[in-house]
Amino acid sequence: MTQTRFATFALAIPLYRVFDYAIDESSAVVGTRYRLPFANGVKTGILLSTQSDSSLDPSRIKTAQEVIDARPVISEHMLALARWVSEYYHQPLGEVIFQCLPAYLRGARPHVPARVKCWHLSPGATQDLERLQQRSPRQFEIFQALQQQSAGMTAIQLKAINTNWHGTIKALQAKRLVHWEWLSNSAPGAQHPDSTKPRPSDEQQTIMSLIESRQQRFAVHLLDGITGSGKTEIYLRLIESRLKAGQQVIYLVPEIGLTNQLIERVRERFGDCFAISHSGLGEMQRYRAWDRFARAEASIMLGTRSSLFSQSDNLGLIIVDEEHDLSYRQEDGIRYHARDVAIKRAQMLDIPIVLGSATPALETISNCERNTWFRYQMDQRPTRFSAPSIRLIDVRNSHFESGCSSQILKRIDHHLSQSGQVLIYLNRRGFAPIVMCHECGWQALCQNCDSRLTLHHSVRTLLCHHCGFTQSIPANCPDCGNSEIKHYGIGTEQLEQGLAQRYPETPIVRIDRDSISSREALKSRLQQLQSGEPCILVGTQMIAKGHDYPAITLSVVIDADQALFSASYRASERL
Of 533 and 260, the one with more pLDDT: 533
Of 152 and 464, the one with more pLDDT: 464
Q: What is the DSSP string of 40-63?
A: TEEEEEEEEEEES--SS-GGGPPB
CB-based contacts of 115: which residues, under 8 Å, 6+ apart?
Answer: 182, 183
**Mean pLDDT to the nearest integer, 382-404:** 82
Of 374 and 261, the one with more pLDDT: 374
Rounded to whole angstroms, how far apart are CA atoms 552 and 505? 18
* Nearest CA among 124, 162, 110 for reference residue 140: 162
**Mean pLDDT to the nearest integer, 204-221:** 92
Rounded to whole angstroms, how far apart are CA atoms 222 and 235? 12
Rounded to whole angstroms, how far apart are CA atoms 407 and 398? 8
Inter-axis angle of helices 202-212 and 231-244, to 10 degrees?
A: 40
Helix (H) or strand (E) holding 153: strand 153-154
Q: What confidence tens digit (pLDDT) does each residue in 225-235 have? A: 888 888 999 99
Rounded to whole angstroms, how far apart are CA atoms 420 and 417? 7
pLDDT at 90 over 90: yes
Rounded to whole angstroms, how far apart are CA atoms 207 and 229? 12
- State residue 193's pLDDT score: 41
pLDDT at 337 over 70: yes
**Mean pLDDT to the nearest integer, 499-517:** 89
Q: What confidence tens digit (pLDDT) does each residue in 185-212 have? A: 544 444 444 446 788 888 899 999 999 9
pTM above threshold 0.85: no
pLDDT band, very low/low/confident/very high, at 318 (cuts 50, 70, 90)? very high
- State residue 194's pLDDT score: 44
pLDDT at 522 over 80: no
Q: What confidence tens digit (pLDDT) does each residue in 267-287 have? A: 888 888 899 998 878 888 899
- State residue 192's pLDDT score: 46
Candidate from 380-394, 397-411, 504-518 with smallest mean pLDDT: 380-394
- State residue 306's pLDDT score: 92
DSSP 3-state percent helix, strand, coil across the chain (nearest 5): 35, 25, 45
- State residue 285's pLDDT score: 87
Of 254 and 309, the one with more pLDDT: 309
Candidate from 123-132, 424-433, 463-472 with smallest mean pLDDT: 123-132
Of 54 and 324, the one with more pLDDT: 324
Q: What confidence tens digit (pLDDT) does each residue in 467-477 have? A: 889 999 888 99
- Whole-angstrom CA distances from 563 to 21, 164, 338, 566, 575 are 52, 45, 23, 6, 6
Mean residue pLDDT across the chain: 87
